[in-house]
Chains A and B, each alone.
Chain A
Amino acid sequence: MTAGASTMTDVAGPGSEAANYEERAFGFWLYLMSDGIIFALLFATYVVMLGQTAGGPTGKELFSLERAAGETALLLLSSATFGFAAVATAANERSRVLLWLIVTVLLGIGFLFLEYGEFAGMIAQGAGPDRSGFLSGFFTLVGTHGLHVSIGSLCILVMIGQVLFKGLTTPVVSRLARVGLFWHFLDIVWVGIFSVVYLPGLL
């Protein structure tokens, strides 16, 4: 398969179908790298703002270790289940792909549910993003990640539809691979969030 794909590219030239998909994969990779830079700078902003609580609540009073652990577990497991879906895709087993994608999106929605509860609880007790520089930094960083997870879950739902109705065709498999990259990338950002925001905040 490896040799076949590259031969086809060589013969058909840059405009061929295989080259087209490789270009998309590379383009998406460049997007992920630029997104990574955005997150890195949001982390930097958060750390700079960490002490600027303006007399408001600190992370120690607001964060919950249990909730952070639950969110981490859901996101970690969902990264693995997306991997199982990718393996099932390579094996061309449609029903297993669907099963694992559904499990993944349920875990993602579970994560969003926990995060929504956390944000709503904080805002209800007057610790919203307008309370202090620290909380602005917190909501911008963690909220941007949550927005990405929401979009990722939406993409997985769309892919479930495409696998159902179009089957595992070349364009669908190629899209699925890119959604997978996005999903695993979000898990890496989350490792940064619990290591920079929650754990030091609760220490």
Chain B
Amino acid sequence: MDVSGLPVERSIRPYLIGLGLALILTAIPFALVATGALARGTTLVIIAIAAIIQILVHLGFFLHIGFRSTPRENLIALAFAGVLIFFMVGGTLWIMFDLYYRMMV
């Protein structure tokens, strides 16, 4: 652990791997939208999956989050933020679209 509270970075390898993976995961959904090769629903699912994988790639290779290397309290804060986001975003969408549906009927 250095003064930054993060592991010392000795190699550009993780950044190159992360950049390569991120470019692939960006190119796939952009290409699908540009060409319209697949059905709308399928494309949306692929966009969502590519985004989730890409966020994990960014967390791992750019922010260097790891179960062993990252301080425990940072991981707990990240998990807590994830739980809050899940409830607040999920709750918002559930309530608002339920309301929308009920007002349409």
* A1, CB-defined interface residue at 8 Å: yes
Instruction: Assess the A195–B50 pair: CB atoms within 8 A.
Output: yes
In addition to A29-B5, A65-B33, A68-B30, 18 A-B residue pairs with Cβ atoms within 8 Å of each other are A18-B3, A25-B6, A26-B71, A40-B89, A41-B89, A41-B92, A76-B22, A83-B18, A83-B62, A87-B11, A181-B6, A188-B58, A191-B58, A192-B55, A195-B29, A195-B48, A196-B51, A202-B33
On whether the beta carbons of A87 and B29 are closer than 8 Å, the reply is no
Q: Please determine whether B16 and A80 come into contact, CB atoms closer than 8 angstroms.
A: yes
* Residues of chain A within 8 A of B33, CB atoms compared: 65, 199, 202-203
Contacts of B85 in A (CB 8 A): 36-37, 40
Given contacts A33-B80, A34-B81, contact A187 B74 (CB under 8 A): no
Is chain B's binding surface mostly helix, strand, loop or mixed?
helix
Q: How far is the CA of A98 from the CA of B16 in the complex (A)?
A: 19
Among A29, A188, A194, which residue has its beta carbon within 8 angstroms of that of B74?
A: A29
Q: How many residues of B contact A (CB 8 A)?
A: 53
B103 at the interface (CB under 8 A from A): no
Chain B min CB distance to A145 (Å): 15
Write the nearest CB–CB distance from B28 to chain A, whole angstroms: 11
Q: Mark A61-100, 1 if CB is under 8 A from B, else 0.
A: 0000100110010001101100110110111000000000
Q: Does A131 contact B (CB under 8 A)?
A: no
Can you name 20 A-B residue pairings with CB atoms under 8 Å?
Answer: A1-B2, A21-B5, A22-B1, A25-B4, A29-B77, A33-B80, A37-B84, A43-B89, A44-B89, A48-B96, A69-B30, A79-B62, A89-B9, A170-B3, A173-B2, A176-B4, A178-B4, A184-B58, A184-B63, A191-B54
